[in-house]
Amino acid sequence: MPELPEVQAQAERLTTAFAGAELEAFRALTFTALKTVVPEPDLATGHPLESVDRYGKYLLVRFASVTFVVHLMQGGRLEPDEKQSAKPRGGLARWRFVDGRAVLLSEQSKEKRAGVWVVEGDLSSQPPLEGLGPDAGALDEAALRGALAGPSMRVHGFLRDQRRLAGIGRRLANEVCHRAHISPFAATAKLTDDEIGRLLDAIRSCIDESLTVERGRDAMSRSADRVGAVYHRTGEACPVCGDTIRSVEYSRYTVNYCPTCQTGGKVLADNTTSKFLK
């Protein structure tokens, strides 16, 4: 799933390309694409696109009257629609502008879970942004400590929980834990002040590095192209210490870590019933 760096860079590309363009029409191409009934998408018709912004993993397509909130889910893309075919492959929704250009929301996966919400007023108090934690891209120590003050959970799960911290997914969670030299299964309630400081620094630096790479691209990267020291590198040498990168496999994701850097040299058993180590 695209995370904060990929979504942020794409928002910037779309703003550069389309800001100021007057909307001619919005059209949902599938029955499930539009997640809201009111307000009407037509409220944006005739208004110029102000910007495409981001909160967490959501794109915010802003017009004067309403904002289209877009979630890409696992395989969604929001990109310029050069062909504008009547039935684009994987097409979910299209914004067509008066100058003849268009933007297409598409998703190639079978589930078709990506979608659009039309929202008026305060976005943070309405679905789908309602209940999200602080944005990881603007995180400071106070916000991080506030998010950590909730019920204790494993650090890797905390980083991925959008209600606690918005914008980080599986890849960045692995990378942040490795850079912070913290076990992915350490309990958030037991983190020391030093570990919290390292966690904050790691969140900032991992996001900044990924965003720099993503901004150098013409389009959103594929998952396999994204940079990382441990993510999906099971069996390879850790670039920091040279130890072998290990993994704990789950049905829907993998936790990668370096024993020397993160668990005092101890290897975690690769099953969900193991006694995980701090």
The answer on 153 and 112 residing in a single domain is no
pLDDT along the chain (278 residues), means of 10: 95 98 97 96 98 98 97 94 95 98 92 92 96 97 97 97 97 97 97 98 97 94 85 95 95 91 89 47
The answer on 105 and 202 residing in a single domain is no
What pLDDT is recorded for position 271? 57
Return the CATH number at 251. 1.10.8.50
Q: Which of 218, 117, 202 shows the shortest CA–CA distance to 159?
A: 202
The answer on 166 and 74 residing in a single domain is no
Query: Which positions ≥6 away from 55 have C-beta within 8 Å?
Result: 123, 129, 132, 135, 166, 167
The answer on 100 and 189 residing in a single domain is no
Find the domain containing 241 and state its range. 136-262
The answer on 49 and 144 residing in a single domain is no
Query: Which positions ≥6 away from 149 have C-beta within 8 Å?
Result: none
What pLDDT is recorded for position 269? 73
What pLDDT is recorded for position 67? 98
Pairing relation of β-strands 102-107 and 91-97? antiparallel
Q: Evaluate if pTM is beyond 0.85.
A: yes
